[in-house]
Amino acid sequence: MKILVLNSGSSSIKFQIFDMQKTVSVCKGIIEQIGESIGHIKFVYEKGKEITKESVIKNHSVGIELLEELLIDNKVLKSFDELGAVGHRVVHGGEYFSEPTLINDEVIKKIEQVSPLAPLHNPVNLIGIKAISKVNPSLIQVAVFDTAFHQSIPDFAYHYALPYEYYTDNQVRRYGFHGTSHHYVAKEAAKILQKDINECNLITLHLGNGTSMAAIKNGKSIDTSMGLTPLEGLVMGTRCGDIDPAIIFYLSRNLNLSIDELDNILNKKSGLKGICGINDMREVEQKANSGDKKAKLALEIFCYRIKKYIGAYSIAVGKVDALVFTGGIGEHSSTVREKVCSDLFDTLGIKLNMETNLKHDTVISQNDSRIKLFVIPTNEELEIAKQTYKIVKSAK
């Protein structure tokens, strides 16, 4: 069975098709600048063959029609009818969804209802779903939510100490994101540990442009660093993560900044970028190595925040089996991993293997490290395809 995975953004659609019998990617690409004067399509298939095209792409439905044409012209599919299902990344499932879900009218209504919690994402995720329905109404569609894996977090960990009615009336609580990635790498870590996932205690670190950590006990998420929105928690490329909320009132009153301006500053002008002017970790490291003080500081703040969370989550989880690094930085930055894992022997018995860390091997801990250290590349699209396949099989 072939599964199409879609990640729809405001002006783009990322796509990938998997052959689930062989669990391999058949093709992938991106349709960009939808709704602009000229749109772009990039399509990679048959191990590296690449096509780029320019065309006016009026809206997401036109994008989906173009995708079908492209797949037929390049003999990837005879038509969309050949697909077993479409799996959609949907950012926010609120408290409604703790599992990937077969899409119907009621599910669409619920995704709409939680859209105020993710106004930049859920509406465009829905546009992708509706575009598929328009082009091929009989195709089975599945929603895989970024928040779903974290729905197992207990109430004392997801509640904020705010007036209770903000939770009951306004859905203010910690939801967490990157759930598909945390879940995927947790299952991969279980394979390496040769244990059932339900017996694994893990701390997973998704370190990309957005960064988050999850505390996983017996295979279930019991805490995570992102909150109501993806702004809370670790330091990110351009997001501040945890700050004293009173800073917002202080800046607003003293610098006369509006809520929208502060929203923009905290989300887009803070994090690594706010401290040293650069949000790309590769460049931050280069500048830090050449002696730039702000870049060095940015790197230290980034890693220190992660260490604090490791401390907190090892208490939350209890006996931790492994710490898992993933995401662009987690997978590729031996410097960040070294800084994060340093000086954790006395407290947590963590011993980094410098050699395998430099080589980005899967196992980067020494044999006698009490907590194992793994580098596991994330694959959110494959996880969405697997979850979609599971639902389609069980529905038949």
Q: Is residue 208 near ligand ADP by the rule CB under 6 A?
A: yes
CA dist., res. 337 & res. 316, Å (int): 22
Helices (H) and strands (E) in the chain, counts: 16, 13
Place of tokens 């408290």: 95
Selected binder of ligand ADP within 282, 293, 359, 393 (CB under 6 A): 282
Q: If you search the block for the tokens 């079908």, which residue do you land on?
A: 68
Residue range at the interface with ligand ADP (CB under 6 A); choices 62-70, 131-139, 277-285, 366-374: 277-285
- What is the nearest approach in angstroms of ligand ADP to the Cβ of residue 279? 7
- Shortest CB 235 distance to ligand ADP, Å: 11
Whole-angstrom distance, CA of residue 159 vs CA of residue 58: 42
237 binds ligand ADP, rule: CB under 6 A: yes
Residue closer to ligand ADP by CB (options 133, 334) is 334
Closer CB to ligand ADP, 9 or 210, in the complex: 210
How far apart, in Å, do the first and last CA atoms of the chain sit?
13
The secondary structure element, H or E, covering residue 365 is none
Q: Which residues belong to the active site? A: 146
Least Å distance, CB 380 to ligand ADP, is: 9
DSSP letter for each residue of 295-325: HHHHHHHHHHHHHHHHHHHHHHHSS--EEEE
Size of the site for ligand ADP (CB under 6 A): 13
Alpha-carbon span 249 to 255, nearest angstrom: 10
Q: Which tokens sit at 390?
A: 């599971």
Grouping H, G, I as helix, E, B as strand and the rest as coil, residue 272 is helix
Among 329, 341, 348, 350, binds ligand ADP (CB under 6 A): 329
Residue 328 binds ligand ADP (CB under 6 A): yes
Between 2 and 14, CB nearer to ligand ADP:
14
Dihedral sign, CA of 132, 185, 390, 123? negative
Other beta carbons within 10 angstroms of residue 180's beta carbon come to: 25
Residue 238 touches ligand ADP, criterion: CB under 6 A = no
Number of C-beta neighbours around residue 199 at 10 A = 11
Report the residue number, 23 or 286, with the smaller CB distance to ligand ADP.
286
The answer to whether the CB of 208 falls within 8 A of the CB of 262 is no
The residue behind tokens 């799996």 is 87
Least distance in Å: CB of 173 to ligand ADP? 24
Our CB check for ligand ADP shows the closer of 141 and 211 to be: 211
The answer to whether residue 280 forms part of the interface with ligand ADP (CB under 6 A) is yes
Q: Which stretch binds ligand ADP (CB under 6 A): 135-143, 190-198, 207-215, 367-375?
A: 207-215
339 binds ligand ADP (CB under 6 A): no
For residues 70 and 336, which CB has a smaller minimum distance to ligand ADP in the complex?
A: 336
Alpha-carbon gap, residue 151 to 99, rounded angstroms: 9
Select from 327, 352, 382, 385 the one that contacts ligand ADP (CB under 6 A). Answer: 327
Q: Is 230 in the site for ligand ADP (CB under 6 A)?
A: no
Among 42, 110, 332, 351, binds ligand ADP (CB under 6 A): 332
- Closest approach of ligand ADP to the CB of residue 360, in Å: 9
Which residue from 33, 209, 238, 353 is in contact with ligand ADP, where contact means CB under 6 A? 209
Position with the least CB separation from ligand ADP: 328
| Amino acid found at 109 | K
Of the candidates 248, 133, 233, 135, the one whose C-alpha atom is nearest the C-alpha of residue 178 is 233
Shortest Cβ 288–ligand ADP spacing (Å): 11
Distance of CA 8 to the CA centre of its chain: 14
Report the C-alpha gap between 63 and 13 in whole angstroms.
Answer: 8
Contact window for ligand ADP (CB under 6 A) among 2-10, 295-303, 311-319, 321-329: 321-329
Structure tokens, 334: 């031996």
Contact with ligand ADP (CB under 6 A) among 151, 333, 379, 388 = 333
Q: Residues interacting with ligand ADP, by CB under 6 A?
A: 208-210, 237, 280-282, 285, 327-329, 332-333
